Structure 1
Amino acid sequence: MSILIAIALVLCLPIVPRCWRVYSLLPLAVLQIYPPWLTIGQTPVPLALIVAYAFWPDLLKEAKFLFSNKLIRIILGLSIITLVSFIWSDDLRLGMVSLNSFLAFVVVFAGVTSQARVDHRWIVRGLTAMYIASLGLAASVVAFHFAPTAKILYLNTDLATWFINSNGLKGLFLDGRNNVFDPDKSGGFAFVNANAASTFLGMVSMIALGSSRAYRCPSHFVVTVLLLVAVSFTGSKAGMLLIFPLLAFFFLWKLEKKVRGSVVILVLQGALMLFLFVKIVGFGASSTASPTLNSQISDTADTRFQIWGFAAQMFIRDPILGQGFGGWQIAFPAYARFAGVPTDLPPHNTFIYLWSESGLIAAALGIAFVARLLKRAIYHMSNSDAEAKGLGAMLALTYLWLLVQGFGENQGLIGDVHMQPVLATVLAIFTVRAAAKPAKAAHA
């Protein structure tokens, strides 16, 4: 019965004007919302996914444009390769999750593209709604950081199942492994994994940073500051280390591009960097009961190198086809017991995971996707048009955050269910509003 409800919602929601669906999708990317009556099999289905697939009429409308877009062609190619790799896979469920993420990304891109052609202001309003929801998430991250017992109590409530996949919650308190039990880690009300929360908040902070430049909105920069402060409270080492180079880059950019309110922005940015520096070094007052940040980073890096060493051994065995979906989970535990690391660790590398699941061609397409996206975004950061310049910065910084933290986490090429619609939206508005600007508007 639930699957019929899901199909009916997807088919009927296009009755709602597309502008309202775009507006609602972005805050839903934060909240997800899992109604207890909406499941397929034993898998809860979030309303965010229903709204995403409700853009299917735009998929038909924008078909010609989609096939002309190189980035979307790469995603469609990855979808086909994912489907083919089912032949040598052990866990088709994992393959279906990956295939669903690629297809949903394309459908959202089509819907937001159609809206951007008509009235892009609804997308900006949707981003503002997402910022508000993200600030709520940020507040809960800080609260759970200082009250870890409240975090565990919350995850045991029915309320948590409305924002977090209930299957994940059940596994968490049975045999699932997660950093949620680390008192220094906090994912807020919508994440059990603090590193995933850090990635999402970091991405949204970079989107707000770009929109503050594209649409001359200083309040969006305030959102950036608040979200980056929250990233420091997730306990994610990768997230904290990412803040400095990205802020330094934008700091220099602002010095070069003098715009209204730049002094206030620079002061806020300098204060944020000072706060984060003090938080990381803690004036040298590290707890004797816990390792310092440097030793934590060193231990994490050692584990990553051991994981990647196993990946190199597997690559030599089957470089073309990889291991298929579920292959890593079957082969890694024996190596992990020998190496003395947890047996259920994923590859913690975007391109290794693409190769492991679907083979060498998938990894090559992943690299091509990253190179093409960043090349286009960075090129338009020097565009003479203010909106194109800001949207270029938005896309480049947002994806860099996902990509770089993906080498320490396991979010995939286009992120998890929270990140995919957000990235698709940013790419779509960039494609329509910035990339369409005449080439002569950008400096060589």
Structure 2
Amino acid sequence: MGFRNNGVMGRGMLVLTMLLAPFQIYTFPVGEIYPSLVLLLSFSLVIFYDVWTPLRTSTALKCLAALILVQAISLLWAVSVRDGVREIIYTLPFFFIFAACMHEAKRDPRFVMSLIMAYSVCALAQSGLVIGFRLEPGIKLSYLQSRLAEIFANPSTLSGLFDVARNNALDPEKSGGFEVNANFGGVWIGMVGTLTAGIAIGLRKPLLVCVGAVHLCAVAFTGSKASLMLAVLLLFAMTMLAYTSRKMSASRLAVVFFMLAAVAIVGVAGLAFLSSTRFGQDSSDTLGSRQLIWVHAASEFIRSPLLGQGFGGWAESFRSYAWQNKILELPPHDTFIQLWSQSGIPAVVCGAAFSIAFVAEIVAFMRCGPKSAAWIGAGMLCGFLFIFIQGLGENWGLLGTLRVSPLLAACLGVARVIAFRVRHADENDRVRSRMGRLENA
């Protein structure tokens, strides 16, 4: 990969980007947008690292580039061009961080792995806040109303939090930490906890196991039911994948899927048992609102299947639907409905292709040979699945927010490099072995 000068400075910018990603650090407004320091730092990486080479070599990045192109074209029929431009701007950092991490991994994969682990340690601040805010809701409300909160959360989001844009973090039985949405707070630390657990076991780092355990315990304090159930399921899946990935025979695959199905059946039975409790009632209410969203999405899809509604079109169409059904105005709450609404079927295809390519590249790393890679890869895969699966019922898009996408980019970058090195080394060994046999013949 081509590398531009000032390598130490570029590496420093990458370190700052990864360490500050959990905090964001919002700065002065640019028009009506509050760019975070992490957004600005990620764009600065383009000065020091070549982005085009990773784009040519990574299928996942090609799919993401195609998605951005489709979204850019859909600005032609957008209701709100500003929403579309903002979506594209917040997707681009994934490219730049991936390129930087891929280059640094070629120099020393341990450096990028240390960045991922350092991110997890910094994210302990989020887990600590989640636990503290759940135990002391009064402190949470005071924090959300303070100027301090505007440093770590988007000021435009906070401005209407206690009025027109109320969110579930205000509920005494919910806690989102830095996030005003407790569901995303739970997904974020659940993803980090799952990933950290895989890395800690793979690299045999007991202290990192403790870090992962804190994150996973904090999920229970968010009040997010889906995050808690998903954390249990994906930890189980990670263990099964780590043990079976190196020799993924048909019989082992059958055992894995059978056990996962058993867990799913137990989960359904548990939900049925809890249907009379408040937990069950809350779950039913959530499902009811999602069903109304799906009905509206289906009717709108029939009207414009190919091009979607354009950016801002969902809010405009849902307003009258919400009034008729006496519900709040809600966003799509599904990654693929959101992609279709913004840019039509081509965006859905690109988003699905990116997800498949991301999983395929991580699986290639997971199966590249070493036992440590199996655990680390399983942790990376289940971390991505945490965001992806719950994104099918929430509203944070394909890559999550800018707190999460740097971590995903770093995982993909280092996984690609290590898998390529191991595969290339194996090929060289086979060639040398054949040459040796020819010489001895």
Structure 2: which amino acid aligns with 1:318?
Answer: S
1:315 and 2:301 matched? yes
Structure 2: which amino acid aligns with 1:340?
Answer: K
8 A Cα contact 1:25 1:52, kept in partner: yes
Secondary structure of the 1:434 match is helix
Structure 2: which amino acid aligns with 1:198?
Answer: G
How far 1:164 moved relative to its partner? 1.0
How far 1:218 moved relative to its partner? 2.7
For 1:389, the equivalent position in structure 2 comes to: 374
For 1:32, the equivalent position in structure 2 comes to: 24
Q: 1:300 to 1:396 in 2, by over 3 A?
A: same
For 2:357, the equivalent position in structure 1 comes to: 372
How far 1:102 moved relative to its partner? 2.1
CA distance in 2, matches of 1:205, 1:179: 22
8 A Cα contact 1:112 1:429, kept in partner: yes
My pick for the range that moved more, 231-240 or 429-438, is 429-438
How far 1:340 moved relative to its partner? 3.1
CA distance in 2, matches of 1:238, 1:14: 45
Q: 1:126 to 1:64 in 2, by over 3 A?
A: closer
For 2:148, the equivalent position in structure 1 comes to: 159
Structure 1: which amino acid aligns with 2:219?
Answer: V
Matched-pair identity in %: 32
Larger Rg: 2
Structure 1: which amino acid aligns with 2:393?
Answer: G
How far 1:388 moved relative to its partner? 3.1
For 1:398, the equivalent position in structure 2 comes to: 383
For 1:432, the equivalent position in structure 2 comes to: 417
Q: 1:426 to 1:256 in 2, by over 3 A?
A: closer
Secondary structure of the 1:172 match is coil
Matches within 5 A, 1:41-190: 41-59=31-49, 61-188=50-177, 190=178
1:332 and 2:322 matched? no
Encode CA deviations 1:320-366: one digit per residue, 9 max, x unaligned.
Answer: 000000000000121122233212x1111111100100110000111
How far 1:256 moved relative to its partner? 7.1
Matches within 5 A, 1:255-266: none
8 A Cα contact 1:205 1:228, kept in partner: yes
For 1:358, the equivalent position in structure 2 comes to: 343
Secondary structure of the 1:325 match is coil
8 A Cα contact 1:23 1:126, kept in partner: yes
CA distance in 2, matches of 1:55, 1:137: 26
Encode CA deviations 1:31-90: one digit per residue, 9 max, x unaligned.
Answer: 11123xx3312322211111111110355x241332231111111111111111111001
8 A Cα contact 1:144 1:186, kept in partner: yes
Aligned match of 2:193 in 205, 212, 220? 205
1:415 and 2:407 matched? no
CA distance in 2, matches of 1:203, 1:416: 13
Q: 1:310 to 1:353 in 2, by over 3 A?
A: same
Structure 1: which amino acid aligns with 2:418?
Answer: R
Structure 2: which amino acid aligns with 1:371?
Answer: I
Number of equivalenced pairs: 399
| TM-score normalised by length of structure 2 | 0.84
How far 1:14 moved relative to its partner? 6.3
For 2:210, the equivalent position in structure 1 comes to: 222
Structure 1: which amino acid aligns with 2:175?
Answer: S
How far 1:199 moved relative to its partner? 1.5
CA distance in 2, matches of 1:80, 1:367: 15
For 1:298, the equivalent position in structure 2 comes to: 284
Q: 1:285 to 1:294 in 2, by over 3 A?
A: closer
CA distance in 2, matches of 1:22, 1:363: 31
8 A Cα contact 1:76 1:102, kept in partner: no
Q: Which runs of 5+ in 1 are unaligned?
A: 1-12, 258-276
Structure 2: which amino acid aligns with 1:94?
Answer: D
Q: Which runs of 5+ in 2 are unaligned?
A: 246-265, 428-441
Encode CA deviations 1:120-169: one digit per residue, 9 max, x unaligned.
Answer: 23223322322222112111111100111111111111111111111111
Encode CA deviations 1:168-188: one digit per residue, 9 max, x unaligned.
Answer: 111213311311221111111
Secondary structure of the 2:208 match is helix
How far 1:225 moved relative to its partner? 1.4
Structure 1: which amino acid aligns with 2:163?
Answer: L
CA distance in 1, matches of 2:42, 2:183: 25
8 A Cα contact 2:130 2:218, kept in partner: yes
Structure 1: which amino acid aligns with 2:345?
Answer: L
Structure 1: which amino acid aligns with 2:387?
Answer: L
| TM-score normalised by length of structure 1 | 0.84
How far 1:252 moved relative to its partner? 4.1
How far 1:409 moved relative to its partner? 1.2
CA distance in 2, matches of 1:173, 1:143: 20
CA distance in 2, matches of 1:314, 1:76: 27
CA distance in 2, matches of 1:14, 1:192: 38
Structure 1: which amino acid aligns with 2:78?
Answer: S
How far 1:249 moved relative to its partner? 2.1
How far 1:368 moved relative to its partner? 1.0
User: Larger relative CO (CA 8 A, sep 6+): 1 or 2?
Assistant: 2
Secondary structure of the 2:283 match is helix
